[in-house]
Structure formats: structure tokens, C-alpha cells
Structure 1
Amino acid sequence: MQSNKMKKKPMILAFALGTCLGIQVSAQNPNIAKQVHHDRIFLQDYSIKNVGSLSTANQFSLASDRNGVVQILEGNQLLRPYGGQFQVNGKLVADRSYLPMKDKKVLAIDRYQDHLVYIDGEAVFSNAWAGVVFLKHTLSNPTAFAGGDDFTFLAAAKNKLQLLKKGKAPYAFSLPAGVNILDVVFDAAQNQFWILGEKELFSFSPKSRTLTKAVTADQLTAVAIHAAKNQLVIGTKNGFFTYDLKTKKQSEVNQKLPWTEITTIQSDAQDIWFGTTMGAFKMDAAGEFSYYFGERWLPGDQVKDLIVQGNQTHILTENGLGTIVFEEMTLARKAEILEKQMRERHLRHGFNSSLNLLEAGNLASGQLDDSDNDGLWTTMYLAGEAFRYAVTKSPEALQNCRESLEAMERLYTVNDVEGFPSRSFERSGYIEQLSDPERWQHASDPEWDWKSTTSSDEVIGHIFVFGVMAEIVDDPWIKAKSIELLDAVMTHIVKNDLYLIDFDGKPTLWGKWNPDYVNSFPTSVGDRKLNSSNITAMLQTAYHFTGKEMFKEKAFELMDKYGYLDNMMRPMEGIGRSGDDGDDWAKMLSDGWNHSDDEMYYVGYWGLYRYAFDKDLQAKYKESIVDHWEAERPEKEGLWNIMTALVQPENFDLEESIWFLERHPIDLIGWTVKNSHRKDIELLDANFRGQLTKEVLSPSEIKIARHNANRFSLDGGSGGKTEYSPGDIWLLPYWMGRYLEVIK
């Protein structure tokens, strides 16, 4: 992020085992009832990928057995996944488990009674049951088969079929000429096979040996038994429909799907999985979709086959096998996993940093990246660790606070400008290899360089975390150092007429809170409201912890004389484009909703509300904060909702907050995602806020993004070339929720 004003132009559903939301009395204020979430078990999804291009255009089969063995048939070769782990790709290798199998020309594989079964040009056979299953057929190049009751199998080749049973001669029959059989499935409840062609679906009773045409439709591709509803689910090249096995009635074709070109279907209890030419999706009993598309989940786009096995769904694509794992987890356990990621891969000199990947998805190729906002991202992680320590008294969390606070302190001491925070610092000699080399300056210490032009989003983040740590971290050095740095930067700002003055003696581009600047904007331009809110929060925080009257006096001067309180109290619905009464700068700043501004508002709300000069002001601040929250609610942004619990714990969209935390991926690699092609989303007309759809998509389906991004963005990502830090993205909202006692 270049600055707080840079403009960007144009899963499985984790679920709870029971409800855990309730209303409780606040321990901090017994007069206030609050919403509380008690941690619960949910299913966290993540992917294990085993890559390998499949060379043939068809003849794919995928099956697994009760032991978790997964086999893939490509052409006549049996493959199996090997070596894949979470965030570490494995590969597809030849399966040499049974030596005689290498000489078998296997044509299809399937699962029967939890074991692997094969068909070749001679028989249906298996290596299970001590190898006694060997049922000969006389079909030419069979392509599909299924097992029924008591080791009865139905095998198919083009339009020819044979019913096979041990000790009996094959029963042969045919479908009408021209029918090409795509698949065969068995319905145990009705004791009948279903035979799918490209335009027709037939039932066959093995008992009466009766063949019946049940469905005629165009472009059929897949069929599955959905026992929970006693129906067939039938896929086409443009949607799916159902067929009720009792009433024999066929539904309308459902085309309001993530993608409509269906290649395969599998039923799993109440859920139905669909493979398509653009990823896979699951439909639950309520008709809600979870979409798995892109390299976060799958090595390829075109789903050839899929199977559901326990807590895993194996999805075969043209570029290998993606296994979606659903692991029972709690938020507390998820926090441990993401804390480990943070500490192992995202610390640079104590800063909370992204990891740039020289090879897409390869964490071993990672290089820690400097950022314009090293200070801001670090303050957000540091605040989360402060909340963690306040809740748990963890020595590890306390040490993490010390180390990152040392990095924050050095932002002030590495340069020679008193009270001025650098954006970042790095060892000398690397300026040309760092981002924005023109912003870097040489420090007095020849071993180091520092980054100038610090912006307002950096400063408000500093004030936020200095206040948090000074208040809640019971450690003398941390408290003293936080107050010292808070005093230094705010003294610099007040003494410089509410400007942040850089090494060149000039204000930085964004470090401006002076009334001449703030009130130069039309009231519709968000910067007028934002800067008023931020500087008031900053001055209140400084006064609260230092007791210096100049901070309080300046704040009331701004509110009473220059209308900063009025600026703050203007409703969010009035924020929009500047119109003809604004200059070019105002027009640029107001060409659309700036989500970095939301981040600045919210980190400022801690000091604005918590350290308010009096109760009357606090009530006004609450009104302004809740008004902002109402505008943000459609995004279901976990951090904004939980921060709103600071002022309104009885009503802050707790359920949506937990939705954000539970459904957020634990794979934070910036894989490219695409959703704009989906048929199940309702697009909105272009609007100022950039809300593209009526409902925001799950965090598991959109790009990995920090809290300053538009959560309605449908497409994006870095092509797998970045791993983002969970420190600010996930750990901050979780631990703030724990500290505010809305998550227990």
C-alpha cells in the first residue's frame, strides 16, 4: 500500500455443531448486556495438492478405499498422490503397489463396499476380499460400471451392458442405437441401476431385468443418487435438475450456480458436490454454495472426477489432484496455527511483514518484504499480541510485544527528526532493491537506511497501539516506552501546527491535520470527517496518558473553533464525490469509497471512544461510530464488527464476526481468484462504495486481503507470489474479541 489514499481502479462452509451465541452481562460494566460467542467446533477447510498434468483427454476414474488409499486412472495407467502436505505440493506417481496390476489394461475403477474395484477387457475384479472377485464379461472396451447388491455388477460399453454375478452367465442387453453410455450408478434403496446417456437416463432392475427410460433431456453429463432426499441429481452442460424417485417428477433446471457446465456429481449425506469446467462447488441442504476454484484449492480448473471420503473431498483436475480437508477446529486452535505462521515467516526486524515468493506458492522461495506501512501492519499485530497477553498472561505474547515495540521505537530513533516516525528501516546498501527506492534516506549510522514520507495511516496506527499497550499490558518497560513514543510523535505534531514534518522540513503528503487543510474539503469529501476524527482520537490518547494540557487544549480548539466535532458527526451517508465545489485534489480523493479510510477510522476509534474527555463527548462519538458501522455492515468485516463491540457490545453483528473468523482461510498465499463469472451472485449497478454484489462472498472464496481492501472485490490476487501475514488480518480481530469478552 503506497499510502492511505492510493486508489485501486478498475470451501467448504465452516459450520457450527450447535449454536453458541448468547447474551451475557459485561464483567467490565455490569450495567451492559453483551453478545457473547462461546468457542465451538467448526470445520476448517484447507487444500492438499498433488500436481501432475493428465495427458489424455478422457478415460479418467478416481476412487478410494476404507484405508484412505486414493487411486487415479489416466488412460490405462494407475496413479496415486504422493508427498502433498498443506502448502507443500506433492505429485502424482505410478501406483506399483500390486506387481501384477502393471500388466492389466484397466479401463475404469470404482469403489464398492469400501474397496477398490477395477474393470479391464476381461473382467470386473478386485485385490480385496482375498482376490476372489473376478467376474468375466464379453464387452468390448467397457468404460463404466457399478456394483449393486451381493456382488452384482453392471458394466457398460457404448450402448451395450452386461449384468455380472458370480456363478452366473452375463446377462447382456442394449440401449437404443446411438446412445453412448456416460455413467452407471446404483440406487440401493430402490435396488436399481441408473444408466446415463448424453440425452437419456434409464433405470434397470437387476431383479426383474426391466429397462425403463425415465428422463429425456439435452446435454446430460453426470448423475448421482441423493439418498437424503430420495432423488437423482442430474448434471448437464448448463445446470442441473433433480428427479424424484418416488413421484417420478423432474425439477426445472437450476442455472443459478457458481458455474453451470457440470462434469461430475457426488452426494454426501445432506450435501451435494459438483465438479465443473471451472472448479467444484458444494451445495448444502439449504441450497447454499461453497465454491472451490483457483489454486488456493485446486491445481487445475477442469474437474474430471471427484469423490467424498470422510472429512476429505478428492477433486481430480487436468493438472492433478486437489484434496479439500475439513478439520475439526476451534477459534483458539486456529489462533495457534496462525500465530505459528506469523512467528515462523512474517517477522522482519520485529515488523509484521509479507513474504514475497519468487516461485508461486513455494514458501521456501520466500523473501521478507518491506512496506510503506511496516509501522501500521506492525501496530495491528502488536495490538493483537497485547490483547492476547492481557487475556492469557502468556510469557510468549509478552516477549512478542517487547520485540515488536523495539522495532516501533527504532522507527523514531533511526532518523534525526525529533518525534518523527519513519515508515520503515533496513540495512544500508539495498535501497535500489526495496520498494519505492526514492523514499529511502541514509541514516546517521552508516549501517542503516530509513524510509521517509510517513503517512497519516501510519501515525493513527502508532497512537492506537501505544494507547492499547500503555493501558492493558502490565509491564513497566512496555508501558513507559509506549507513553514515551506517544508523547514524542504527538508533541511533534502539535508543535508543528498539526503537520507531520519530514527530514526536508516540509509536511508529508498525508500527514496533515491542520484546519486550513482539513476544512478546505467540501463536507462530502471523506477526508474532512476522517482527519477530524483521527486527530481528536490522537490528542485524547496523548492527554490521557501524559496529562499534558496542550493536547487537551488543542483538541477542544479544533472541536469548538474549527468545527472538528461537527465534521465527525456528519453521517456517512453524506460522504460522496466532491462535485463542482471541490478542486482536483478533492475530486481525486472522493472518486470512490476508500477502504483504507475505514481502517484509519476504526483504529482511531479505540482512542476516540475509550479516552473521551467526558461522557457527553463519548456519547456523541458512539453515535458517529455506530453510524459508520451501519454503513459497513454489508461487508461482514470481522475487525470492524468486533471493534464496534467497544461501544455497542449488545449489538455489533457477532454472528457475522464469527463467520469471518471461522471461514477465513488458513492458507494466506495470495492465489489468484475469480468470481465474476459466477451465475449464483446478484450483481449491483456501479456505485460509490464499490459494492459489486448484493451479498458478500465467503472469505474462503475471495482474494486474501488486509482490512483496507474492498471485500466485495470478485477477482484478484498476486498469482501465488505473496503470503500475507495473519498478524493483522486474523489475529487482531480474534484477540480483540477475546479481550472485549465477546469471544470466550
Structure 2
Amino acid sequence: MKKINQYCILMISLLVVSCNNPDKEKEQTSSMPIYEDIPYLQDYSIKYNWTQDQDISKVYMDRNGVIQVLSTDGLLRTHDGQFLYPGTLLKDKTYRPLTDKQISGLTLYENQFVYLDDKAVFSNAWAGSLYLSHNLPKAHILAAGSNFDFLISDGKSLQFLSKDKAPWEGAIDDRLLDIRYHADQKTFWILGAHSISSFDATTSTLKTTQQEQQLTALALQGDHLVIGTSNGYFELNPKTVTKVGPLQNKLPVTDITYIETIDDHLWFGSSEGAFKLRDDGKFDYYYGKRWLPNNHVKHISKGNDNSILILTDTGLGQIVFEEMTLFDKAEYYEKQVRDRHIRLGFNASLVDMDNGNIDTGRLSDSDNDGLWTTMYLAGEVFRYAVTQSDDALQNCRESMEAMERLFSINPVPGFPSRSFERSGYIEKLHDPDRWQHSNDPEWDWKSTTSSDEAIGHIFAYGVMAELMDNDLKDRAITLIDTLMSHIVRNDLYMVDYDGKPTTWGKWNPDYVNARPKMVGDRKINSSNIIGMLQTAYHFTGKEKYKEKAFDLMNNHGYLENLMWPMKDVAPAPDDADDWSKMLSESWNHSDDEMYFVGYWGLYNYAFNDTLKTKFKASILDHWEIERPEKEGAWNIMTALTGTSEFDLDEAVWYLKEHPMDMVSWDVKNSHRKDLDFIAPNFREQTTKEVLPPDERKIQRHNGNMFRLDKIGNDGGEEYSAGDIWLLPYWMGRYLGVISEPQPLD
């Protein structure tokens, strides 16, 4: 969205190593695209809050990098403030004489601050020599021209001030809102609530043209005037003061409060955030506390460091554009995870935060501690395989210790707990009813483990066993065998402490084939268990796994189940059982996650080439229906099949567009007028095109990427990048479809 797409896709030949037989290298060659990781512009926000009663109206940055904000009580300046750590706006006491003046206007001239008070236009620049007296004591609108020319207004009257030209005074029968200067025309343009006027600074000529609409904002772009209204904007030809084209209201928000032209792009302020018009006619939308202290935008200006200053009624959002590569972003996220998202080796979320303050949060347990951690663990294994990083290896060891303890902390042989925590906190933990006491009085463990965790375990251990050449390889194989022995021994169920199968840990044909063919659980459970059994056989060589897999495929229809076309996944028929109906009320995005992490074992460890070809077709069929989501992980994971078409450009788009700020701020998009909405549907796709990740809620890969709003618990949680971003990035690096960082030529 808000980044410069400075990447190229190079077509080169890659040698794809077969995971089916470690001794058989270079099994197939395919032409695959490669993203060259050159620097691009990554945006993030530094916020400065304002909690006082005084109104704030203007913000500028001068040539020295100083930011000043105009308030009804004088000048303010920024204090502290960095990414994720908001600063504040404080009374500017830097220059004592200014604190005694009734400053009502602020602008820049030659990149220096110029002020307006009840007596004069003046500045501290140019050795303080600029001082032009006026006789509009209530003047508050100020615009700078050329050669130290200025036009001011009190909302009704106008006064022209200049160092070397004769002064001029006049008035317009309208409520004046803003003044802009067009340097090429040497003309000041004056916006009224219902009029557009021009003042020729050379001839001191004032002309006024009445307008029908209620006008709210004015900007200059090239040879046109851009006029904002409460229902969009339109353009005027300044020579004829006539409209150029129709009213534009296919916008994120039509209630325009401010317009500014920055680097030939139009930036709009509104009552619900800010947005920029891109070259492709679409918009970059900055809404909510991810970007701004408040959504009501008062003023927009450009910083001399290429940042964008967006002033709201409760503070300033400074949108910073920093040059970085995907590798640079990965290094930031690696630190984010290790700094505040590791709980006992698990990849965890930070919750109970106070309004986005990451230093106030606590690490939380989760139903899916095993799944989120295995996805992070697999990413770190890929990172180690690519870089041989000692840090990545140590991260793998620490997370692997947590995964091993999931098996040993409960009394059920081969059963992985959902999580564990020190005893005495069950009532305070997530889902307290699922927690059980262990034999160690110091620790409790979480039961009812689901199929989500199981497939995550096998995925991560398969990656580790494949790519590690140290003790972690053997430990991973041990856990593969431990979990799969439990499942096979218990007739393809995961059996809990109470001797009963867990709600979701069921791969037995009696359960799977009880679902109608169009119900997703029939397909996903078949796909997952075959991939899990193949992985177990590949690394242990135990025939029981191979025999069970072929029994399921040949005698129970599991191959047919997993090959069921994705386009035919649908709601259960009216005569189906209630459980099947519940399972198929809408598209299950958690199933998508389970499918794709399971594809590592399904494709790489296929028992023979015939099956491998079928499995590839099934994966590509799934990828095809997922394409509208532009999901980074799904596109990268599809590349493991060696296909040359897997939407690498969309995967890179996902990685670039993902916000650096992973706090769960409220977002809202359902009100937007620039989106093409579609009719309600089974997949719960709301718009024709998916929004960029930094305009959506923060979510894991198991969420609906077309969800438009998230309201509630604003700033109360920070997600970990371990599973959300680092997994697809490092898998892309390992598969060779994302290059190492490259210098920008």
C-alpha cells in the first residue's frame, strides 16, 4: 500500500532437491521466479499525544527538523516519541519572547517558520529581520508567497503584506477558510465556504467566483485547484475557475477536512483518518491508532525528512518512510519476538496492554501455543538452514525444549499438551476448565489438544529432521514417532487424560467419512493424516505408518477425499447431521492454515511419484482458490511444489505491506466509499480486492483476510511476528524464491 514497489522478479532455473529420497539430488528442474530483495520504503508511525483542552490546528517541520504545532494557547513542540513509544506535545518555551505573543497563524517560507499574531507577520529566521505589521487583530489565516509576500485574513477581511510591494486590503462576502499560493501564477488562491477567489500579487487584483457546494479544503496540484467538500472533491481550471471533470466521491471517506499536495500526490484529511491518492487511482488509508492519535484530521504537511505530518485534534501522527529490505524487516521482527513474545520457549502474544503500551502487557497462554510455536520454530529452522546463524540455532533449541515438555508434563503416553504453566494460576489462565494438575506440584498442563496442534507439530519436526544435521534432528524424529505412535495406537484418535478422544483430534474413518463430501473436515482431515503418516514413515522407516496410510487411501477413500476440488467445498445439505452443518456454515480459514502447513509432509514425503503428482495437483487447486487473499504464507508454501506460478509478487506484497506495528488497534473499513463490495458468500469475502495488511486488523494466517472491521480491545494486545511474518519470509529464503538482501543500484 504505502511503499514503493521497488522489486523485480527474475526468472532463473532452480534445482529442486527431492525430499522423498535424501540421496537423490536435483530430482527436477523448474523455472521459478525470484524476488530480488532490494530496499523499498517501509512506513510506520511515531505518535505525539495532546491531552489539553486547547485546539491545535497547524503543524510544520522547518529545515532544522524542528516540529512546531500551533494551538489556541500558542506554539507546541514534540517531546520524546519513537516507534511504539508515543511522545507528547508540550508548550514550546524555546524562545521566550514568543511565549508572550498571541500567535494565531503558522506557516513555512523558505523552509523557515513564519508566525502571525495580532500585530504582525514575523519570524526568528533571517536574523529576525522579517516583521510586517498589519491591522487585522483577529487574523489567523496566513499564506506565504514569493519575495517575502504574505496574505493574511481574519476570516472575512484580507490584507497583503510585502517587504517591497505596496500593502493592500480587501474583503470577501464569505467565511474564509484557507489561502494557498501558486508560485508560477504569482497568485494567492482564497477558499471560502461558498467561493473561490484569487489575488494577483503583481497587480493587487481580487476576483471571486461563487460555488454551489459547501467547501471545506483547498490545494494546488499542477495547473489545477483541488477543492474539498463534505461529499468528496473536485478540480478547477484556475484560468476559467470552471470544473475539470465530475465530483470525486469514490473515496475512503467523503467528508474532506484538509488537502495537501506532497511530491505530486494528493493527501486528504477527513473526519475518519487520512488517505493518499496513488498513481493507480487507489488509496493508501491511514486509520486508527496504528497511525494517528485520533481520526479527525486537522492539517497535513511534509517533513523535510520525507515524513508526513498528520495533525489530529488529539495529537500528531508522523508517518515515517524508511528505506529497508525484507531482510532488514526480518531482523526487526526477530528482535520483536525475542524481546517480548517468548513464554517458557513458546511463541506467545502480549496481552492486557494499556492503550498500546507494550511495557504494560503480560505474556499469555493460548489454546494454540503448540501451533504458533511450531510455525515460529519451522521459520527459525529455515533461517538456520539459510544463514547457519548461531542465534537461530539457539532459538530452535529453546522452542524445541518447550515442545518436548508438552509431551512429558502430562501422564498420557505420546499425547502433546496444548500448553503448560506454573501451578496456582488456573483460574487466571485462558480457558481454565481445560487445565489439569501435573505430577509435579509446581506445574499445570492444558488438555484437549486439537488437530491444529498435531499438524503443526509434524510440520515443524519434519522441517527440523530434514534440515538439521545435529542432535535436534534425532530429537525431532523422536517426537514425530512419539505423536504418530499415539495416534495409530489409538485408532487414529488423540486420546486425552480421561481416555476419550479430544473434540478435534479425530482422523478415524468413522468420523471423517461421516461428513458429507462437500464438508471441509472430510477433506482436511484426510489430507493432514496422510501427510503426517508419510512424514513418520519417511523419517522412522516404520512400516506401520505406510501400511496405515495406504489402508486409508485404498480402503477408506482418503485419497479421493483429499483430492476433492476446493471449489466444491460447500455447506452440508439439509439432510446432513447437525455437526456437519455446524462445520460447514462458512469457509474455515483455520483449515487453510492446517492444509498448508501439512503440505510440507504431503508433497515432500509422498510415497511414490504418482501420489506426488496427485498431491501437487491438490495443492495447486487449493492455491488457486486462495489467490484473492494474496496470503503471503500460502503463496510461499505453494512454491515447495516447484511450480513456476505461485503469485510471488503477491507474497512480497504481503511481506512489505505488513505493518511494523503489530498491536491490535481497532480498524474500520466497512464505511469506505472506494471499495467494491460484493454480495454475501460462503467464503465470507466482502470486497472484490483484499485490502493491504496494514489497513486490516492484525491477524494470524488462520483469519479471514477480507474482514473489514475490528472494534474492541483497542491497543490491548501485541501479536508475535514469529508465525505471522518470519515463517513465510524464511521459508521463501530457503526455497530460493526470495534473495538475500541486495544493494539498491
Q: Indicate the TM-score class for this superposition, using the shorter chain for normalisation.
A: over 0.9
- Distance (whole Å) between structure 1 residues aligned to residue 394 and residue 242 of structure 2: 66
> Is the contact between residue 420 and residue 502 of structure 1 (CA under 8 Å) also seen in structure 2?
yes
Equivalent in the alignment of 2:23: none
The 5 Å alignment of 1:385-424 reads 385-424=380-419
User: What is the Cα deviation at residue 286 of structure 1?
Assistant: 2.4
What secondary structure is seen at the aligned counterpart in 2 of 1:311? coil
- Distance (whole Å) between structure 1 residues aligned to residue 361 and residue 353 of structure 2: 6
User: What is the Cα deviation at residue 173 of structure 1?
Assistant: 1.8
| 1:72 and 2:66 are equivalent in the alignment | no
- Distance (whole Å) between structure 2 residues aligned to residue 302 and residue 365 of structure 1: 27
User: What is the Cα deviation at residue 209 of structure 1?
Assistant: 1.8
Equivalent in the alignment of 1:631: 625
| 1:240 and 2:233 are equivalent in the alignment | yes
What amino acid is aligned across from residue 451 of structure 2 in structure 1? Answer: S
> Is the contact between residue 54 and residue 74 of structure 1 (CA under 8 Å) also seen in structure 2?
no
User: What is the Cα deviation at residue 99 of structure 1?
Assistant: 0.5
Equivalent in the alignment of 1:14: 3
- Distance (whole Å) between structure 2 residues aligned to residue 574 and residue 548 of structure 1: 35
The 5 Å alignment of 1:19-34 reads 19-28=7-16, 29=26, 31-34=29-32
Equivalent in the alignment of 1:667: 661
| 1:184 and 2:179 are equivalent in the alignment | yes
User: What is the Cα deviation at residue 608 of structure 1?
Assistant: 0.1
| 1:297 and 2:291 are equivalent in the alignment | yes
> Is the contact between residue 141 and residue 155 of structure 2 (CA under 8 Å) also seen in structure 1?
no
Match of 1:709 among 703, 708, 729: 703
| 1:270 and 2:264 are equivalent in the alignment | yes
What amino acid is aligned across from residue 109 of structure 2 in structure 1? Answer: Y
Equivalent in the alignment of 1:3: none
| 1:119 and 2:116 are equivalent in the alignment | yes
> Is the contact between residue 357 and residue 363 of structure 1 (CA under 8 Å) also seen in structure 2?
no
- Distance (whole Å) between structure 2 residues aligned to residue 575 and residue 95 of structure 1: 63
> Is the contact between residue 49 and residue 84 of structure 1 (CA under 8 Å) also seen in structure 2?
yes
Equivalent in the alignment of 1:9: none
What amino acid is aligned across from residue 544 of structure 1 in structure 2? Answer: H
CA deviation profile, 1:78-110 (whole Å, cap 9, x unmatched): 111111111112111000011000111011101
CA deviation profile, 1:385-428 (whole Å, cap 9, x unmatched): 00000000001101111110010000000111111000001111
| 1:507 and 2:496 are equivalent in the alignment | no
- Distance (whole Å) between structure 1 residues aligned to residue 390 and residue 238 of structure 2: 62
CA deviation profile, 1:284-338 (whole Å, cap 9, x unmatched): 2222211111111111111111111232111111211111111111100000000
What secondary structure is seen at the aligned counterpart in 1 of 2:143? strand
Match of 1:324 among 319, 326, 333: 319
> Is the contact between residue 619 and residue 638 of structure 2 (CA under 8 Å) also seen in structure 1?
yes
> Is the contact between residue 54 and residue 73 of structure 2 (CA under 8 Å) also seen in structure 1?
no
Equivalent in the alignment of 2:20: none
> Is the contact between residue 84 and residue 91 of structure 1 (CA under 8 Å) also seen in structure 2?
yes
Equivalent in the alignment of 1:570: 564
What amino acid is aligned across from residue 26 of structure 1 in structure 2? Answer: L
What amino acid is aligned across from residue 34 of structure 1 in structure 2? Answer: M
User: What is the Cα deviation at residue 604 of structure 1?
Assistant: 0.4
> Is the contact between residue 256 and residue 268 of structure 2 (CA under 8 Å) also seen in structure 1?
yes
| 1:538 and 2:536 are equivalent in the alignment | no
Moved more, 345-354 or 301-310: 301-310
Match of 2:348 among 328, 337, 353: 353
Moved more, 213-222 or 646-655: 213-222
Match of 2:604 among 598, 606, 610: 610
The 5 Å alignment of 1:512-661 reads 512-661=506-655
Match of 1:109 among 103, 106, 109: 106
Equivalent in the alignment of 1:7: none
Match of 1:38 among 36, 39, 44: 36
What amino acid is aligned across from residue 730 of structure 1 in structure 2? Answer: W
- Distance (whole Å) between structure 2 residues aligned to residue 189 and residue 285 of structure 1: 24
Query: Where does the alignment leave 5 or more consecutive residues of structure 2 unmatched?
Result: 17-25, 740-745
What amino acid is aligned across from residue 327 of structure 2 in structure 1? Answer: A
User: What is the Cα deviation at residue 168 of structure 1?
Assistant: 4.8
What amino acid is aligned across from residue 298 of structure 2 in structure 1? Answer: K
- Distance (whole Å) between structure 1 residues aligned to residue 116 and residue 463 of structure 2: 67
What secondary structure is seen at the aligned counterpart in 1 of 2:694? coil
CA deviation profile, 1:116-168 (whole Å, cap 9, x unmatched): 00111111100111000001111231121211111011111222111111255
Moved more, 47-56 or 363-372: 47-56
CA deviation profile, 1:565-623 (whole Å, cap 9, x unmatched): 00011101111110123111000000000100000000000000000001110110011
Equivalent in the alignment of 2:743: none
Equivalent in the alignment of 2:167: 170
Decide whether aligned partners of structure 1 residues 513 and 501 sit closer, same or farther in structure 2, where only a CA change above 3 A counts. Answer: same
TM-score, normalised to structure 1's length?
A: 0.96
| 1:472 and 2:462 are equivalent in the alignment | no
CA deviation profile, 1:676-712 (whole Å, cap 9, x unmatched): 1111111111100000111100101000000000000
What amino acid is aligned across from residue 155 of structure 1 in structure 2? Answer: I
Equivalent in the alignment of 1:8: none
Decide whether aligned partners of structure 1 residues 648 and 203 sit closer, same or farther in structure 2, where only a CA change above 3 A counts. Answer: farther
What amino acid is aligned across from residue 207 of structure 2 in structure 1? Answer: T
- Distance (whole Å) between structure 1 residues aligned to residue 492 and residue 58 of structure 2: 68
- Distance (whole Å) between structure 2 residues aligned to residue 249 and residue 534 of structure 1: 65
> Is the contact between residue 274 and residue 287 of structure 2 (CA under 8 Å) also seen in structure 1?
yes
Match of 1:159 among 140, 156, 159: 156
User: What is the Cα deviation at residue 171 of structure 1?
Assistant: 1.1
CA deviation profile, 1:204-259 (whole Å, cap 9, x unmatched): 111122222356231111111113xx222111111011123467542211111110
What amino acid is aligned across from residue 442 of structure 1 in structure 2? Answer: H
Equivalent in the alignment of 1:481: 475
What secondary structure is seen at the aligned counterpart in 2 of 1:714? coil
What secondary structure is seen at the aligned counterpart in 2 of 1:579? coil
Match of 1:447 among 437, 442, 447: 442
- Distance (whole Å) between structure 1 residues aligned to residue 587 and residue 280 of structure 2: 34
> Is the contact between residue 14 and residue 45 of structure 1 (CA under 8 Å) also seen in structure 2?
yes
Equivalent in the alignment of 2:80: 83
| 1:197 and 2:192 are equivalent in the alignment | yes
> Is the contact between residue 49 and residue 85 of structure 1 (CA under 8 Å) also seen in structure 2?
yes
Query: Where does the alignment leave 5 or more consecutive residues of structure 1 unmatched?
Result: 1-11
Equivalent in the alignment of 2:456: 461
User: What is the Cα deviation at residue 430 of structure 1?
Assistant: 1.0
User: What is the Cα deviation at residue 434 of structure 1?
Assistant: 0.6
> Is the contact between residue 183 and residue 195 of structure 1 (CA under 8 Å) also seen in structure 2?
yes
Decide whether aligned partners of structure 1 residues 438 and 601 sit closer, same or farther in structure 2, where only a CA change above 3 A counts. Answer: same
> Is the contact between residue 30 and residue 642 of structure 2 (CA under 8 Å) also seen in structure 1?
no
- Distance (whole Å) between structure 1 residues aligned to residue 509 and residue 119 of structure 2: 88
What amino acid is aligned across from residue 51 of structure 1 in structure 2? Answer: N
What secondary structure is seen at the aligned counterpart in 2 of 1:617? helix
User: What is the Cα deviation at residue 357 of structure 1?
Assistant: 2.9
| 1:52 and 2:50 are equivalent in the alignment | yes
- Distance (whole Å) between structure 2 residues aligned to residue 695 and residue 100 of structure 1: 55
- Distance (whole Å) between structure 2 residues aligned to residue 232 and residue 377 of structure 1: 52
- Distance (whole Å) between structure 2 residues aligned to residue 625 and residue 358 of structure 1: 39
Decide whether aligned partners of structure 1 residues 300 and 54 sit closer, same or farther in structure 2, where only a CA change above 3 A counts. Answer: farther
What amino acid is aligned across from residue 708 of structure 2 in structure 1? Answer: L
User: What is the Cα deviation at residue 648 of structure 1?
Assistant: 4.1
Decide whether aligned partners of structure 1 residues 635 and 403 sit closer, same or farther in structure 2, where only a CA change above 3 A counts. Answer: same
Decide whether aligned partners of structure 1 residues 405 and 215 sit closer, same or farther in structure 2, where only a CA change above 3 A counts. Answer: farther
- Distance (whole Å) between structure 2 residues aligned to residue 155 and residue 432 of structure 1: 65
> Is the contact between residue 15 and residue 29 of structure 2 (CA under 8 Å) also seen in structure 1?
no
- Distance (whole Å) between structure 2 residues aligned to residue 641 and residue 217 of structure 1: 51
